[in-house]
Structure 1
Amino acid sequence: MTGLRLGPLLRYVDQDTATVWLETERPCEAEVHCEGSSAGGSARTWQVAGHHYALVTVVGLEPGSETPYRVTLDGRQVWPEPGSPYPPSTIRTLPPPEADPRETEPLRIAFGSCRWAARPAGARHDPVGPDALDALAQQALTGGSRPDVLLLLGDQVYADETSEPVRARLARRRDLSEPPWGQVADYEEYTELYDESWLDPEVRWLLSTVPSCMIFDDHDVIDDWNTSEAWQREMRATPWWRARILGGLASYWVYQHLGNLSPAELAEDPLFTAVRRAEDGAALLHEFAERADADPATVRWSYRRDFGRVRLVMIDTRAARVLPERERRMVDDEEMDWLHEQVLDGGPGAVDHLLLGTSLPWLLPPAVHGLETWNAALCAGVRGARWARFGEKLRQRADLEHWAAFPRSFQALTELIQRVASDQEAPASVSVLSGDVHHAYVTEPRFDDLKVAGGGRRSRVVQLTCSPIHNSIPAFMRAGFRFGWSRAGRWLGRAMPRHVSAEAPPFRWRRTGGPWFGNMLMTLTLHGRDATYALDRARPATSAPDGTPRSALERVFDGRLSSAEPAVEDG
């Protein structure tokens, strides 16, 4: 008899198909049974480093339906758990393609990034506050609304900032006074992070009933992962880095990446096929992770999901980087070509709303953007070797590694967005969804010279940044981000690039909401060509009857996306 160790996580969902990910205690046959329906699916578990996993494809679902499901292992029900106080987990499918948008429910997509499952040991941060993901679960459990899709935009786990309970388990394996100390060392220790993050009862239920899309950021591996060629060279020289990066990439593939893919993509994935057939897939994943780290162009972590006429293209901004200074790019040329193909597939008129998911913001406060542009030029050597060394030290200490720190990639992404937004059949909105920076804000570019073919109205372009889900930010950084949007900050952002003769961006952008601080989630609501967004912040609420503290979400801001000018101006 085997039990369920982790999951189930509902991952991919379309009109009639879904995938459910889970980890079991032993090898077994995993089945998903849909109540009151012939829909369902089964899969044999596969093994990696002694751990057993299944990714079950559920077929035969009705479009536009909501179907409760249960999970059995070798015929024994393990989900819902006996005596569970939570409602049944359900699979909510997309409406059929021919459905009239006026007769279908809006699509609600919640997103955010940066979630500590528990406070790290020895953290010297401000009070962390309640977990926004837990608050969302509480809201759904008490009859409130729940999103149709959850986008987790990076730092789902913190390999370099572990809690006291995790460190206690690591200490049973090795001496924590030796590198990498209290950080995770390898694949086995990564499994501890996912256990801690996904076994919280309310969050576990939420992830079992709301489909999720994920992408990594730096802390999924280590702070400032792939900041620069110099950083990478220093890390590769340490005796413990190789096991960390291989464990990080392999565990991400198992726990996060596979669920981002459609059943058709999984069927065509030779690595997934090979791992399922192997007695233990650890060696195959080890080889794969080595190749992915040594030659990032051979692996694609980015992916695309279509939700009817809403298209999400999730961009890998960590592993796909080109780091030599003279060639420095956020994504390599092949990846950028792929991004163009996915965004433009079927023409801009193929979708009503285009969503670009990126863990790192495209548009920063102007002072920060100018600082990163200036720093990138210094590191490239435009002011000589001495300035270059100073620039590299500053880059690593101040985390200067967003899109602005890769000027060629910033320009390429901007040009792609402009191309889509100016098409005669442009989508109603183009939204760049990001996190990372431990606060939330809304900003819009001013493409004053953007001409629309045929005289139509261009897309509303907006960046929606939401972070953290559960973390904190020091007071001095809050002040710094506020200054970054100020008049003086804008002036500084324009002045610094002149010191290195760097080109200023060919457009400006304005903040139309924020900055907001706290633990938050943002939700996009899309219906036909209409779109709204809302920001909710977690706050403490009453305790459960057993004394367990509860949290709730409170509305902070609402906005509407349309072709009209925004109602909220710079504050």
Structure 2
Amino acid sequence: MVRACRPRAVSVWLVTRAPARIDLEINQHDGPVVATGSRDTIQLGAFMHVAVVTAVPTEAPLQSATTYTYSLKFHDLSTGATLDFAAAVDDLAGLCYPPFNLPSFVLPADKVEDLGIVYGSCRKSHGEGRDALAGLDDMLAQGTADPRARPQQLLLLGDQIYADDVSDALAVVIDQVSRDLCGTVEQLPVKYREDDLRVGNRGRLAKKHGFTSSYARNHLFFLREYMVMYLMVWSPVLWPETLPTLAECHRIAGGKKREKFEKQRTQVALLQAGLAQVRRALANIASYMMFDDHEITDDWYLNREWTQRTAADPMARQVLTNGLIAYAFCQGWGNQPEDFEQGPQWALLEGSSKWVAADYPSEQQKPLQDLVGIPPANERLHNLDRDPAKSCRWDYRVYGPAHEIWMLDTRTWRGFPGKRGTDIPDLLGGHGWSQLGERARAESEIVLVVAPTNVIDLPHTAWASRIVAKLTSVYDSDYGDSWEAQTEAFERLLGNLAANVYQEGGQQALAILSGDVHYGFCARIHYAGRHPFAAEPAPAGARYETVMAHLTSSSFRNKNSFTELFHTRGYWPPLPWVYAWAGWHKRPKFRHTSWRGRFKAFFQSWRTRNPKAEPPLLNLENLPREVRVDPLPDWRYRIDFLGGHHPSPERLNKPYPELIQTTGRDIVGNNNFGLLRFLWPEIKQNRWIRQELWWYSENGEIAPLTQFEVPLAFGLDEPFPLPKLPQEEEET
């Protein structure tokens, strides 16, 4: 799997059956070797050895708009044998795109208009429908030969695995494969019966020890299981020819249990059928990843109650640690390989290997828990603060010649400001806000901010999630994982993005990428203010003004009947949907021009739970003209939900029936991934971001069947003007 790719370093992630020293060579197309590197694997089981090997240029840095190929050589440290790439892998040709005879990649474009960035999230092994990540292989195969047309980066925004939701058939396979690869069996630090770990029986144990997943019947507990889950969903190599049958999984089963089992088994088989495509795609494009909750467990750190309960439970602490160790080896290491050469990240890799080699001694668990940032037990938590010098940081940045990507960790730095344990969290709290503290480089023309959970959600689903959370349980709704659910943190995020992203103030644009919600859509945020919340004020006489394209692609594979309804119906009521808000650091005063104004002012819509304690925000959509507000807002913004369109038939290589339908036009509820392109002339007023959502047509092929264009214009060319108070409207 190709991971971080930069002009001075290219990294490849892989897993071997034997300890090995791996040599990596980078060639310019089929030409000379231009970069080399080697690395020894790290052992995590008797037959599981992991490495991220990095090659550095022999002379000049690698260039954009150039296709590079790579090859690997394996020196078996146990036997002394040496294998070349073709001998070591089962099907080298199956990893390559014509016309190349080796896997290939390209570096990010040196011009924004040539950037191609793929992103997506949420890939459940037994999700419904075809796997959109397998469809990425079809897209890459169409344009691999042209380095300028070929996408350069793949961003996986969370839920790369579903550790808490595993089908019975796959659970049996994972158990057997993980025992074969890892040998020694890890023990849990609590009393349990072996029957508690049988397929379909783990839900009771998971619930007893603090987990809240509704589908925990096969929850992964052990490190070997977490590791093998990644291997199973990224490659076909370890899969059996035939999945286990119902009789092989359960002693007695019938009726609804049989029906559910067979349905999920069929869905897993469909995933398996596309894994050769997934493997090839991941071997040919640089990938960067960030976790959401399902890499560890559902509702991970959702609120203070959940966090304190699991922090005090020995089994929960071990399971959370196992999930984060697996994340470090399978995702985090490849994101920033240099960070894992020393410090807490290297200590985690080395310590985990020693823990496994020593047969999982309990006395070695506490240092690993500290390294991954498991909160202290039996403490009332206000923030998930920890010492970055003594524990791993998972947030990072990716730099290209003209762009940069900010990968935010919104799970392990949360704040819990509410009085009740189930109150909605701040997705960043305390030291976590330092992720936004450093401004972008001067040469970066566009910044992509990755927030794995949505900053804003569709109006009707946000409303429904809020109702579900109030009427049932906060654990039955994802409302607490949405930025807009927590007023102060939401305002602080927007203020930081408006004031602190770019070196220069003035009019700027950026993109927010998110996933999690299992459908794709597009929105636009226009933010302006002389003193944004929780940010430094603009210089005298100036103000910050930023257009943010909020782009969502989800899911790779987790559609359901609700997302299909969104796909069919779109927005209801139809567009336009607009939010218009103004904010103050201190609550403003109302003046009234009539008794009607006094009456109407009493019923104005304040967004905050308590406007006197939090930044007061006033809804400007229906503010009566008889009402005057003093002083003018410190900041204001407008959020527009944008409709999409189907591409014209001539843009595609063949006709698709969806092009003459309205389904999937404004909201994509089918399995999908996004491709970002940029229309980027020198004049800022004429710039646009285009999001293509690729999903499967009813003819069985994947294509960019939905497109959104987000204008980045300001001023007179602004298609969505900033909201104004009635008194400002009268002055103009």
Same fold (TM over 0.5): yes
In structure 2, distance between residues paired with 1:554 and 1:334:
40
- Which of 147, 161, 171 is the equivalent residue of 2:165? 161
Task: Write the distance in 1 (CA, Å) between the matches of 2:571 and 2:355.
Answer: 48
Alpha-carbon contact 2:163-2:296 (below 8 Å) kept: yes
Kept after mapping to 1: 8 A contact 2:116/2:675: yes
Match of 2:713 in 1: 563
Pick closer, same or farther for the CA change 1:70–1:167 going to 2, 3 Å: same
- State yes or no: 1:44 paired with 2:40: yes
| Deviation, structure 1 residue 193 | 1.3
Change (3 A) 1:393 1:243: farther
1:213 is displaced (CA, Å) by 0.9
**Residue in 2 aligned with 1:466?**
553
Provide the residue aligned with 1:133 in structure 2.
133
- Aligned partner of 1:535 in structure 2 is 692
**Which one has more relative contact order, counting CA pairs under 8 Å at least 6 apart?**
1
| Aligned residue among 474, 479, 493 for 1:395 | 474
1:392 and 1:332 map into 2 onto residues whose CA distance is 27
CA distance, structure 2, for counterparts of residue 94 and residue 43 of structure 1 = 25
1:175 partner letter:
R
1:486 deviates by 6.9
Is 2:527 aligned against 1:440? Answer: no
- CA distance, structure 1, for counterparts of residue 344 and residue 225 of structure 2: 26
Q: Which amino acid aligns with 1:275?
A: L
1:201 and 1:279 mapped to 2: Cα distance?
Answer: 29
- Aligned-residue offset at 1:487: 8.2
Provide closer, same or farther for how the CA distance between residues 537 and 408 of structure 1 changes in structure 2, counting only shifts above 3 A: same
Contact (CA 8 Å) 1:304, 1:313: kept in 2 or not?
yes
Maintained 8 Å contact 1:354/1:427: no
2:299 aligned to 202, 218, 224, which one?
A: 224
Contact 1:373 1:497 in 2 (8 A): no
Q: What's 1:322 paired with?
A: 415
| Counterpart check, 1:302 vs 2:395 | yes
Return the alpha-carbon distance in structure 2 between the equivalents of residues 488 and 92 of structure 1: 39
1:107 aligned partner: 115
Pick one of 490, 495, 509 that aligns with 1:429: 509
Q: 8 Å contact 1:368–1:484 — kept in the other structure? A: no
Alpha-carbon separation, structure 1, partners of 2:90 and 2:173: 26
Deviates more, 1:206-215 or 1:504-513: 504-513
Aligned partners of 1:374 and 1:415: how far apart in 2? 28
Distance 2:503 2:139 in 1: 40
Q: Which residue of 2 aligns with 1:517?
A: 669
Q: How far 1:52 moved relative to its partner?
A: 1.0
Structure 1 counterpart of 2:662 = none
Change (3 A) 1:189 1:551: farther
How far is the alpha carbon of 1:106 from its aligned partner?
0.9
From the superposition, tell whether residues 58 and 541 of structure 1 become closer, same or farther in structure 2 (CA, over 3 Å). farther
Please report how far the alpha carbon of residue 203 of structure 1 lies from its aligned counterpart in structure 2 after TM superposition: 1.0
Q: 2:198 aligns with which of 175, 180, 191?
A: 175
Deviation track 1:197-227 (CA, whole Å, cap 9, x = no partner) reads 1102111111111111111111111222111
Deviates more, 1:15-24 or 1:291-300: 291-300
Are 1:67 and 2:68 an aligned pair? yes
Structure 1 pair 83–448 and aligned structure 2 pair: CA distance change class (3 A): closer
- Equivalent residue in structure 2 for 1:210, among 285, 290, 296: 285
TM-superposed CA distance for 1:73, in Å, is: 1.1
Please give the alpha-carbon distance, in whole angstroms, between the structure 2 residues aligned to 1:551 and 1:13: 30
The 8 Å contact of residues 451 and 514 in structure 2, kept in 1 or not, is answered as yes
Q: Secondary structure at the residue paired with 1:468?
A: coil
Query: What residue is the counterpart of 2:26 in the other structure?
Result: 34
Distance in 1 (alpha carbons) for counterparts of 2:436 and 2:512: 14
| Paired residue type of 1:140 | L
- Correspondence for 1:269: 343
Displacement of 1:279 in angstroms is 6.1
Partner SS state of residue 535, structure 1: strand
- Of stretches 450-459 and 26-35 in structure 1, the one that deviates more from structure 2 is 450-459
Change (3 A) 1:27 1:57: same
When structure 1 is superposed on structure 2, of 190-199 and 238-247 the one drifting more is 238-247
Pick the aligned partner of 1:340 from 427, 434, 437.
Answer: 437
Larger Rg: 2
Q: How does 1:367-406 map to 2 (within 5 A)?
A: 391=470, 394-401=473-480, 402-406=482-486
Q: What's the CA shift string for 1:506-547, capped at 9, x where partnerless?
A: 5341101332211111222245765532222321587xxxxx
Q: For the Cα contact (< 8 Å) 1:130–1:470, is it kept in 2?
A: yes
Cα distance change of structure 1 residues 279 and 252 upon mapping to structure 2, 3 Å threshold: closer
1:554 to 2:690 alignment:
no
Indicate the SS of the match to 1:251.
Answer: helix
SS of aligned partner of 1:289: helix
Q: Verify: 1:92 aligned to 2:106, yes or no.
A: yes
1:363 alignment partner, SS class: coil
> C-alpha root-mean-square deviation of aligned residues, in Å?
3.7
Report the CA distance between 1:134 and its aligned residue.
0.9
Give, in whole Å, the separation in 2 of the partners of 1:190 and 1:499. Answer: 40
Question: Which is worse superposed, 530-539 or 558-567?
Answer: 558-567
Residue in structure 2 matched with residue 195 of structure 1 by the alignment? 231
Q: Does the 8 Å CA contact 1:155/1:220 hold for their aligned counterparts?
A: yes
C-alpha separation between the residues in 2 aligned to 1:369 and 1:507? 19
Return the alpha-carbon distance in structure 2 between the equivalents of residues 339 and 568 of structure 1: 27
TM-score by length of 1: 0.80
- Say yes or no: does 1:255 pair with 2:407: no
Q: What is the DSSP-based 3-state SS (H/G/I as helix, E as strand, rest coil) of the residue aligned with 2:476?
A: helix
Cα distance between partner residues in 2 of 1:67 and 1:150: 17
Shift of 1:269: 3.3
In structure 2, runs of 5+ residues without a counterpart are: 76-81, 180-196, 207-216, 236-274, 377-383, 387-391, 532-537, 581-603, 619-635, 644-665, 722-732
* Counterpart Cα distance in 2 of 1:169 and 1:476: 30
Q: Could you tell me how far 1:42 is from its partner in structure 2?
A: 0.7
- Paired with 1:422 and 1:189, the residues of 2 have a C-alpha distance of 43
In the alignment, the residues of structure 2 paired with residue 57 and residue 72 of structure 1 have an alpha-carbon distance, to the nearest angstrom, of 13
Structure 1 residue 186, shift from structure 2 partner: 1.7
- Paired with 1:114 and 1:461, the residues of 2 have a C-alpha distance of 23
Asked whether the 8 Å contact 2:498–2:544 carries over to 1, the reply is no
Percent of residue pairs bearing the same amino acid type: 20
Question: Whole-Å Cα distance in 2 between the matches of residues 285 and 13 of structure 1?
Answer: 33
Q: How many Å separate the matches in 1 of 2:692 and 2:365? A: 39
Partner letter of residue 281 of structure 2? L
**Whole-Å Cα distance in 2 between the matches of residues 319 and 478 of structure 1?**
33
2:497 corresponds to 1:417: yes
Deviation (angstroms), 1:485 = 8.0
- Alignment partners' CA distance in 1, 2:560 and 2:606: 26
With the length of structure 2 as denominator, give the TM-score of the two structures: 0.63
1:266-318 residue CA offsets vs partner (Å, 9 max, x unmatched): 33434316735986354778633345111643342111111112111111111
Q: Matched residues in 2 for 1:287 and 1:135: separation?
A: 41
Q: Is the contact between residue 465 and residue 478 of structure 2 (CA under 8 Å) also seen in structure 1?
A: no
Contact 1:132–1:538 (Cα < 8 Å) also in 2: yes
Distance 1:300 1:554 in 2: 36
How far off its partner does 1:434 sit? Answer: 0.3
Counterparts of 1:371 and 1:415, CA distance in 2: 27
Letter in 2 for 1:269: G
- Does the 8 A contact of 2:479 with 2:485 survive in 1? yes
Distance 2:505 2:50 in 1: 44
Unaligned runs of 5+ in 1: 1-8, 121-127, 376-389, 543-549
Partner of 1:363: 456
Q: Deviations over 1:117-137 (max 9, x none)?
A: x316xxxxxxx2222211111
